[in-house]
Structure 1
Amino acid sequence: MTQTFSIKGLTTLAVLAASTALTLGTPAVADKASNTLNVAFAAEPEPLDTYKIAGRQGLILARHIYDGLLYKNLDTGEIVPALAESWEFTGPLTMEFTLRQGVKFHNGADFTADDVVETLNTVITPEYGTRYSISVDWIDSVEKLDDYKVRINMSKPFAGAVEMLADALPIYPHAFFAENGSAGMAATPIGTGPYKLVSQEPGIRYEMERFEDHYEGSPKSGATIDKISVRTIPEMNTQYAELMSGSLDWIWRIPPDQASRLEGRVQIISAPIMRIGYVGFAPEAMDGDTPIADKRVRQALIHATNRGAIVDAFAGGASEVLNTPCNPAQFGCEQDVTAYEYDPEKAKALLAEAGYEDGFKMEMVFAAMPRPTAEAVAADLANVGVTLELNEQQYASGIGKWRAKELPAFFSNWGSYGIGDTAFILSNFFGGGADDLVQDAELATWLTEADTSSDRDVRAKNYSMAVKKIAEEAYWMPMYNFNVNYGLSNDLNFTPHPDEFARWWGASWK
């Protein structure tokens, strides 16, 4: 099929740039002269307090500015020291960390145990409102043992504790944070990371410079690019034009058809990521007064959805239809589960058996998913008599309606914090918390056992039982795993990783 490259909506200047690049096929050189990496996102980064951020855009910026106690090397899978030079479990619910000395914050303050204690003891409180409770609810308290040693007391065993400490829980300067709180950190982000923020127009533009005093031995050390300029450019065609003209060096999340069109003019790299798309069903919504409460209806909806065609049309690349409520790359994501092939006739039979031979209407909120994808699901369900009333929301609004039990189906995606362990997806949606609208006590028991055990075999066994039951009961309609297409200047060296966190500190010019 012939693909059309549309430049509708571009400014005159951008159209000319795109036209020139398409004609000549040779982009201008990257901004090597000033050693500046020019980057664009389509979506606005959230305010730069990591603990309040959901989207990858803001988290990518934050990970250049801030550091955690530990760091995970995704090339080896190894957890390595960062702000902590060493750590150990001193008991089933206690961890002790010896901190690095000589580390400086961007404002010149010295890093000490006070920073760890103030940061973590603040963000674990309900009043702080950390975005995802799973990231911190395993911490009961943090104690200062001396100026460079701390103890974390755990509120419960949590197999993902070390993973969370590996850059997902950054440390803030205690004096500034205590005085200014979350709003202050967002307005004036101060960390110990390889880049410091020198200016920002929140949601629009961010300018970062390499931090000359970044500590020796950091797993993020070795940055060679002096400056990073990040802009929000919602119109993707404008991004393509600027990439080809040399005004941009790095963009991402390029649709497959456009990636094919751009290939050969710029570098295109396609890489798999942890994120998956899903439709969550809510048997507990609306006091159970919804067709979704019937297992046969849930199974029918999956049979009626041509997920393979949706993947081919909207994902492409390395994406595949999933039968599991997790990413196959994650530990514990059992693949030997009930699968639902595309079978509209079987769907109709199940609906009739459940008493819905004439179909029904149902609202489905979708967030952080393209409208055409939601419309494709709706079209498939319409073929078996189910009318979906599509309601597009921002993620925060959508998840709010979900938690309030106001809707039977929610179409969105989940990135598991970029972590290759099912602890960071299954328990969030099936472990009995606010996002669990299934409330299956047996599932919650298995997941608790898996999440709290230090025995890998015990964890695998319990996750396997949970995944199998979720599939058998059709609690979710897993859609597909995501992949990301990156567009790069031909002069840029950049390595993507499956956690979807761009590591620009490791980028360089050819």
Structure 2
Amino acid sequence: MTRYLARQIRKYALTALLLGCTTYSYAGKQNDTLVYASDNEVENVSPYHNNLREGVILAHMVWDTLLYRDPKSGEYKPELATDWKWESPTVLLLHLRKGVTFHNGDPFSADDVVYTFENIAGPNTASVIPQSVDWIDHVEKVDDYTVRLHLKQPFPAALEYLAGPTPIYPAKYFQQVKLEGFSKAPIGTGPYKIVKIIPGQEVDMVKNPDYFKASPQGQPKIGKVNFVVIRDPEARVAQLMTGQVDWIWRVAADQIEPLSTMPNIAVKSGETMRVGFLDLNIHANGPTGMPLKDLRVRQAINYAINRQGIVDNLVRGGSQPVYSACFRTQVGCNDSKVIRYNYDPAKAKQLLAQAGYANGFDTDLWAYRDRDYAEAIIGDLRKVGIRARLHFVQYSVMASALSSGQAPMAFNTWGSFSINDVSAFTTPFFGGKGSDIWKDSELTAMLKKADATVDPQQRSEQYAQALGRISSQAYLAPLFSYSTHYAFNADLNFQDWPDELPRFALSSWK
């Protein structure tokens, strides 16, 4: 071990001690316990009631969906549904798997599918991701193991959604305990079951011994998996180095190389579907928000940010500049009509002067993660005269500030819930509901039409129009794709994927 690394271990271990971080001595192969750490807590472990990436990870471990998308081939495979058939462009018939039980022993049946989609996940429920099923008009129970999904209109991405953010809940149990009780003691049919929740700190899971043998995921191989919240990045590295946790991500790019030289740690890096962007709030209140109502100011912000510089110096690992409101591999992500706002500080200053802000202005920028990225953005804005103060808060606080008009700008990220379709990006933000702070009726109509178009070429052209409008109105400043840097116990077999979904149910010890 180099002297540098020895100093780093002492430094990070001391940091963890001073921060009062919990230690997890039960981590590792010896105890058959994978402890993974992240910087964000899940306010509610119920997948339909949080929209953080950490919640998506938990969802795929504890709950099953009707279909399963193979991360290697992209092929849709049977999971809780054994087969499916389109009876018409708006009617999908699915036969369900028999013999599957929830973690409490309740049998899985068509009643659970109907109740999940109509009472838990729908737009008139407490779900924070209504777009996951709002393309469904209603669900018909044909018999105990057959359901028929009736769509509001054709929706080409239906199978992708059924393999993604649509976990099936236990109807009988949920009706007994309600959402509050379910959040404290959730159950699913997945490869792991939750045995302990400490809000804001920890979620403990154990292997489901009754997981159905025909699952396309196979049987879970690690006995226990614990999710822990460690907000400080240096403390996360410290606990990985000292063996108190087994897996961390969002590691700073400049720490990857030194970590890679440690014999007990493995590292991986790769570009993901997650996109970082600025929300530019046209309805922001007060003097700090007024400038954002002017299109020229929003365009100036787009020109002011050095995307390539942030990619090269901060994100690294395969990240690329992004100029459109989608990730390039998503079906329908046609950027042919998108304005490419290249880094041009002079152009930004010119636009600001035309808008009446030759001397710049004071404003606010909100963020909930990646403080160094947010500070780099603020540095670029300051160079053209936009003096932004940083408000670094939890995601829910930032989202509330955006919707209320308190936040003029917000550094946001979106991983599309790992759905490889443009609708998973555009519709949540511009579909007229949820996170749509712009409420552009023309744009919403464009997306509604594109979402329902079956012909691939026509669909692509329609999304091109919608993406072009988002760009021409500069509602966003798309910035870069994320590359995620992972560091983990060298005893762990771990595969990373571009959809930014760590599949711990597929992991094993060496």
Same fold per superposition (TM over 0.5): yes
**Does 2:136 correspond to 1:135?**
no
Within 2, Cα distance between the matches of 1:358 and 1:414?
33
CA separation in 2, counterparts of 1:190 and 1:216? 19
Q: Residue deviations 1:310-334, cap 9 Å, x none?
A: 2233211111221112112222223
Q: Secondary structure at the match of 1:95?
A: strand
2:426/2:447 contact within 8 Å kept: yes
Would the aligned equivalents of 2:64 and 2:79 in 1 still touch at CA under 8 Å?
A: yes
Which residue number corresponds to residue 304 of structure 1? 304
Give the Cα–Cα distance (whole angstroms) in 2 for the partners of residues 174 and 42 of structure 1. 32
Call closer, same or farther: CA 1:339–1:172 in 2, change over 3 Å: same
Query: Counterparts in 2 of 1:315-464, with a 5 A limit?
Result: 315-336=315-336, 337-366=338-367, 368-464=368-464
The separation in 1 between residues aligned to 2:428 and 2:202, in whole angstroms, is 33
SS of residue in 2 equivalent to 1:446: helix
- CA offsets, 1:446-466, max 9 Å, x none? 322211112211111111222
Contact 2:381–2:387 (8 Å) recurs in 1: yes
**Distance apart, 1:85 and its partner CA:** 0.5
Q: How do 1:72-111 and structure 2 match up within 5 A?
A: 72-111=69-108
Aligned counterparts of 2:266 and 2:447: Cα–Cα separation in 1: 42
Deviates more, 1:463-472 or 1:253-262: 463-472
The percentage of aligned residue pairs carrying the same residue is 38
- String of CA shifts for 1:227-277, please: whole Å, max 9, x gaps: 223322233333323323333322211110111220121110112211111
- Aligned position for 2:278: 279
**Shift in Å at residue 203 of structure 1?**
2.9
Matching residue of 1:479: 479
The verdict on how the C-alpha distance between 1:7 and 1:342 changes in structure 2, with shifts beyond 3 A counting, is farther
Q: For 2:153 and 2:317, how far apart are their aligned partners in 1? A: 40
Taking the aligned partners of 2:427 and 2:26, their CA distance within structure 1 comes to: 47
1:38 positional shift: 2.6
Q: 2: CA distance between counterparts of 1:487 and 1:200?
A: 25
- Partner SS, residue 290 of structure 1: helix
Q: Is the 8 A contact 1:143 1:151 kept in 2?
A: yes
Is the Cα contact below 8 Å between 1:119 and 1:177 reproduced in 2? no
- Residues 12 and 292 (structure 1 numbering): CA distance in 2 closer, same or farther, change over 3 Å? closer
1:278 shift after superposition: 0.5
Could you tell me which amino acid in structure 2 is paired with residue 190 of structure 1? Answer: I
Please say if residues 46 and 57 of structure 1, whose CA atoms lie closer than 8 Å, have aligned partners that are also in contact.
no
CA contact (8 A) 1:14 1:241 kept: no
SS in structure 1 at match of 2:142: strand
For structure 1, which segment, 109-118 or 401-410, has the greater mean C-alpha deviation from structure 2 after superposition? 401-410
Counterpart contact for 2:119–2:125, Cα < 8 Å:
yes
1:145 corresponds to which residue?
142
Deviates more, 1:390-399 or 1:60-69: 390-399
Match of 1:21 in 2: none
**Worse overlay, 197-206 or 108-117:** 197-206
Following TM superposition, by how much is the alpha carbon of 1:84 offset from its aligned partner in structure 2, in angstroms? Answer: 0.7
Q: Distance in 2 between matches of 1:52 and 1:363?
A: 28
Distance in 2 (alpha carbons) for counterparts of 1:313 and 1:5: 21
How many Å apart are 1:430 and its aligned residue? 2.5
1:155 maps to amino acid: K
RMSD: 2.6
After superposition, what is the alpha-carbon deviation per residue over 1:352-403, rounded to whole angstroms, capped at 9, x for unaligned? Answer: 222222222223322x332332232222222222222333332222222222
Q: Compared with structure 1, are the counterparts of its residues 174 and 440 closer, same or farther at alpha carbon in structure 2 (3 Å cutoff)?
A: closer
Q: Please tell me whether the aligned partners of residues 7 and 237 of structure 1 are also in contact (alpha carbons under 8 angstroms).
A: no
Aligned to 1:22: none
- Which residue does 1:210 correspond to in 2? 207
CA distance in 2, matches of 1:253, 1:297: 32
Distance (whole Å) between structure 1 residues aligned to residue 395 and residue 62 of structure 2: 25
The aligned residue for residue 116 of structure 1 is 113
> C-alpha displacement at 1:14, in angstroms?
6.2
Distance 2:198 2:366 in 1: 31
Is 2:60 the counterpart of 1:63? yes
Q: Is the 8 A contact 1:67 1:167 kept in 2?
A: no
Query: What is the CA-CA distance between 1:287 and the residue it aligns to?
Result: 10
Q: Secondary structure at the match of 2:113?
A: helix
2:227 match: secondary structure? strand
Q: Does the CA-based 8 Å contact 2:16-2:238 persist in structure 1?
A: no
1:122–1:229 distance in 2 versus 1, CA, 3 Å: same
CA distance in 2, matches of 1:323, 1:159: 25
Q: Count residues with an aligned counterpart.
A: 496
Aligned equivalents of 2:229, 2:471: Cα separation in 1: 39
Cα deviation, 1:14-62, whole Å, max 9, x if unaligned, reads 69xxxxxxxxxxxx99833333223222322332211002112232122
Contact 1:123–1:136 under 8 Å retained in 2: no
Q: Does the Cα contact within 8 Å between 1:273 and 1:482 map onto a contact in 2?
A: yes
Native 8 Å contact 1:32 1:509 kept in 2: yes
Counterpart residue identity of residue 142, structure 1: V
Q: Residues 282 and 292 of structure 2 are in contact (CA less than 8 Å); yes or no, is this contact kept in structure 1? A: yes
Structure 1: where are the runs of 5+ without partners? 16-27
- 334-343 or 173-182: which moved more? 334-343
Residues 500/462 of structure 1: CA separation in 2 closer, same or farther (3 Å cut): same
2: CA distance, partners of 1:12 / 1:403: 37
> Is the partner of 2:31 in helix, strand or coil?
coil
Displacement of 1:199 in angstroms is: 2.5
How far did 1:124 drift? 4.0
> Which residue is 1:262 aligned to?
259
Change (3 A) 1:196 1:431: closer
1:308 aligned counterpart, secondary structure: helix
Letter in 2 for 1:136: V
* Structure 1 SS opposite 2:312: helix
Distance in 2, Cα, partners of 1:423 & 1:157: 13
Greater shift, 453-462 or 368-377, is seen at 368-377
Tell me which of 175, 195, 214 is aligned to 2:192: 195
Moved more, 355-364 or 283-292: 283-292
Kindly provide the CA deviation profile for residues 452-500 of structure 1, in whole angstroms up to 9, marking residues without a partner as x: 1122111111112222332233221111110111112112111111222
| Partner residue in 2 for 1:24 | none
For residues 164-212 of structure 1, give each alpha carbon's deviation from its aligned partner in whole angstroms, at most 9, with x where no partner exists. Answer: 2114211122211111122222111111111122233233233322212
Give distance in 2, aligned partners of 1:321 and 1:125: 35
CA change 1:307–1:224 in 2 (3 A) is same
